[in-house]
Structure 1
Amino acid sequence: MRLIQLAFGCLLVAIAGGIVNADAIYKWRDENGKIHFGDKPPVSGESTPVTVKPNVYHAPPIEGKAGAGYRREKVVMYSTKRCGYCKKARAYFKRNAIPYVEYDVETSRKGKRDFKRMGGKGVPIILIGKRRLNGFSEAGFSEIYQGSIN
């Protein structure tokens, strides 16, 4: 099963990178029961077209302003202690001397309440003024953080 997931993941990366020029992706099971994915249907046997939907989320704006004396807008992170991406965000903030406020969505009353109000599905949720980042990547954070200079 892991091999199938890996193969499918590689196929998606290839498609996203423009390596495979395909109009459709096909899924089929061979005579041994093994599942295959490809940009062409098999010569013999039946296949099913697969629809790939990108994972895109457009967050509603979150109200908030930077306080007096801030060069940048306040960074707020909703997280959990066991979240790997939350740990990466904390390390990044520390390495880059970025001040932030953190609310644990499992143990903090405010964290739980805000997370529910925002329709949170996963952590971290990082707010920079009116901007929202679901999850964490250095590139994604830098993009919205650089835009928050007053």
Structure 2
Amino acid sequence: MKPFQLVIGCLLVVLASGSVNAEAIYKWRDKNGKIHFGDRPPATEESEAVTVKPNLYQAPEYESTIGSVRQKVVMYSTKRCGYCKKARRYFKRNAIPYVEYDVETSQKGRRDYKKLGGRGVPIILVGKQRLNGFSEASFREVYTR
């Protein structure tokens, strides 16, 4: 059977079945051996429908809950800062999700730190509140407001 006849035969089978799978992905190899993928089968090469399993990832929320309070936590820090390390340990121990930007290695971290008028680290933003430095008591006070 010639490729053209094969394509016509496939089209007739699809049309006879009464439905066209618009979400199908087709795989085929061209005359040079290169593999192609597309949402429609090629007219000149033999193809096969492939099943695609999307690799989905759900990012964690940047907000946390203590009681009924939801607060977004962002920390501007450095790797060598002792208070930053204490804050990280506290967040981990209390399952508080947060976003961290290193002000020495991240462009966004440096840019935001400058906009915040940073003079030391960590700077911790809890919702719209700001905490310079870190202590468990001061964080809890700001976090549960």
State the TM-score, normalizing by the size of structure 1: 0.51
After superposition, the Cα gap between the structure-2 partners of 1:81 and 1:68, relative to the gap in structure 1 and judged at 3 Å, is closer
C-alpha displacement of 1:69 = 7.9
Q: How does 1:14-93 map onto structure 2 within 5 Å?
A: 71=65, 72-93=70-91
2: distance between equivalents of 1:96 and 1:70?
10
Cα distance between partner residues in 1 of 2:63 and 2:87? 24
CA distance in 2, matches of 1:70, 1:92: 14
SS in 2 for 1:82: coil
Q: Which residue of 1 aligns with 2:114?
A: 116
Cα 1:146–1:100, aligned 2, differ >3 Å: closer, same or farther?
same
List runs of 5+ in structure 2 lacking aligned partners: 1-60
Amino acid at match of 2:72: K
- Matching of residue 130 in structure 1 with residue 121 in structure 2: no
- Structure 2 vs 1, CA of residues 81 and 131 (structure 1 numbering), >3 Å: closer, same or farther? same
**Counterpart in 2 of 1:144?**
142
Identity %: 75
Question: Is the partner of 1:120 in helix, strand or coil?
Answer: coil
**Runs (5+) with no aligned partner, structure 1:** 1-66
**Structure 2 vs 1, CA of residues 70 and 139 (structure 1 numbering), >3 Å: closer, same or farther?**
closer
Structure 1: distance between partners of 2:122 and 2:78: 8
Partner of 1:101 in structure 2?
A: 99
SS of residue paired to 1:113: helix
Rg larger in structure: 2
Moved over 3 A (4+): 67-71
Q: 1:68 Cα shift?
A: 10
- What is the letter of the counterpart of residue 142 of structure 1? R
Supply the AA of the counterpart residue of 1:75.
Answer: V
Report the residue type matching 1:91 in the other structure: R
1:132 corresponds to which letter in structure 2? R
Amino acid at match of 2:136: E
CA contact (8 A) 2:83 2:134 kept: yes
* Coordinate RMSD, CA, aligned: 1.8
Structure 1 residue 70 displacement after superposition: 5.8
